[in-house]
Amino acid sequence: MEPTDRKRPTIYDVAREAGVATSTVSRALTNPGRVNARTRDRVVEVAQQLGYRTNPLAQALPSGRTRTVALLVSDVTNPHFFGIIRGAEQQTRAAGCTLILADTEESPDLEAAHIERLSGSVDGFVIAASRMSDQQIGELTDRHRLTLISRQVTGVPSAIVDHEDGTRQIIEHLASLGHRSVVYAAGPRRSWLAAKRWHAIRAVTRKLGLSATRLGPFPPAVRGGAAAADAALGQGATAVIAHNDLLAIGMLRRFTDREVHVPRDISVVGYDDIFGADFCSPPLTTLAGQFDEAGRLAIDLLLGTRDGTRPPQADNQVVLPSHLVVRGSTGRAPS
């Protein structure tokens, strides 16, 4: 009976106890099949009874594989990212890896800084709603493994929720209620999504013979809603599409304050179907998508662990379906 060592046992301890070389222990533990079944069993058993735990750092140093991935989000307190975070966390864990979460505070520089800092400690990056330019992202790709969420860049794997078809659903819904024009309360200037959404709105409205106006940009947060609401009112809008639910909720509040009745006087639509969209007043009509699935997919794409059940998309740019959830914030256009 040896004295109970305070430190964790290493492969040396296991090797000695099992009467084999450390290399055999290493193989038995990480590469079974390349070692005799009997020896492997012995090693595993000894490791087990010694309470051996592999040291992830020591493992990562020679191999270069850290079994860790980083998820960068532009704002951890934005409920929009919940689904993404949870999905990514689950899938990372399922792959036996660890997730590092970093908040980039809507700043492309902070994004780059985080990547710089973490490179070397992680196997790859998932960037949600990146604020970097296509070029910056392109340069990063040949230096690091990375996948994108809610952003598409040629040659970079990504998972997004279908904004084009979704926008069509929104516009058709408004048109069916008799609205002849829509106003878009835009998100940040650097936001790829904001540009895409506006683009889609223009395309669909044109096709259906509606008119579209863009206002903003506004901060994609509840506090951005007041200015957006006022601007929309100033335009005499009958229907406004907010860049996201946060902004939409902020607008709802402002309308209430100004005694503008939604949806009697004006209809409001958001994007994302975040936590709260169903219990704000009135409940928000919004475009829902499976963001948790996007989080999972992004990890799969990064780790190369996608199961075969899904057909591989061209260029690994996955587009997830979206659907409009109609609630109380949209109604017939005022006559």
Q: Which tokens in the block code for residue 112?
A: 């780059």
Q: State phi, psi for 286 to the nearest 5 degrees.
A: -155, 160
DSSP characters over 183-234:
EEE---TT-HHHHHHHHHHHHHHHHHT-EEEEE----SSGGGHHHHHHHHHH
Query: Taking CB under 7 A as the rule, which mask of x and - marks residues 63-82 in contact with DNA?
Result: x-------------------
| Binding flags for a second copy, 186-225, as an x/- string (CB under 8 A) | ------------------------------------x---
Q: Does 145 bind a second copy (CB under 8 A)?
A: no
Task: Name the segment binding DNA (CB under 7 A); options: 23-31, 157-165, 178-186, 264-272.
Answer: 23-31
Binding partner of residue 187 among a second copy, DNA, none, CB cut-off 5 to 8 Å per kind? none
Which CB, 192 or 255, lies closer to a second copy? 255
Residue of 41, 48, 49, 61 that binds DNA (CB under 7 A):
61
The interaxial angle of helices 108-118 and 134-141, nearest 10 deg, is 10
Binding mask 27-56 toward a second copy (x if CB under 8 A, else -) reads --------------------------x-xx
In the 8-state DSSP scheme, what is residue 76? T
For the sheet with 285-289, list strands across it. Answer: 211-215, 181-185, 239-242, 267-271, 285-289, 322-325
At its nearest, how many Å lie between DNA and the CB of residue 52? 7
Select the span of 72-80, 160-168, 228-236, 304-312 touching a second copy (CB under 8 A): 72-80
- Rule CB under 7 A: is residue 24 a binding residue for DNA? yes
Residue located via tokens 């100004």: 258
Instruction: Report the chain's terminal Cα–Cα distance, integer Å.
Output: 90
Q: Which is nearer to DNA, 50 or 76 (CB)?
A: 50
Within residues 263-282, the interface with a second copy by CB under 8 A covers: 275-276, 279-281
Enumerate the β-bridge partners of residue 279. Answer: none
Q: Could you count the other beta carbons within 10 Å of the beta carbon of residue 223? A: 12
Place of tokens 């390349």: 34
CA distance linking residue 248 with residue 89, whole number of Å: 28
Strands 124-128 and 68-73: parallel
- Residue 19 interacts with DNA (CB under 7 A)? yes
Nearer to DNA, 61 or 113 (CB): 61
Instruction: Indicate the residue among 19 and 304 with the shorter CB distance to DNA.
Output: 19
Residue 152 touches which member of a second copy, DNA, none, C-beta under 5-8 Å by kind: none
Structure tokens at 282: 């009135």
Q: If contact means CB under 5 to 8 A according to the sort of partner, which of a second copy, DNA, none does residue 20 touch?
A: DNA
CA dihedral 115, 313, 318, 72 (to 10 degrees): -10
Residue 59 or 119: which CB sits closer to DNA? 59
DSSP type of residue 6:
S
Six token digits for residue 216: 């903003």
Query: What is the chain's alpha carbon radius of gyration, rounded to the nearest angstrom?
Result: 26
Interacting residues toward DNA by CB under 7 A: 7-8, 10-12, 19-24, 26-27, 29-31, 34-36, 38-40, 52, 54-55, 58-59, 61-63
What residues make contact with a second copy under the rule CB under 8 A? Answer: 8, 53, 55-58, 60-61, 66, 68, 76-77, 79, 82-83, 85-86, 89-90, 98-103, 116-121, 222, 249, 252-253, 275-276, 279-281
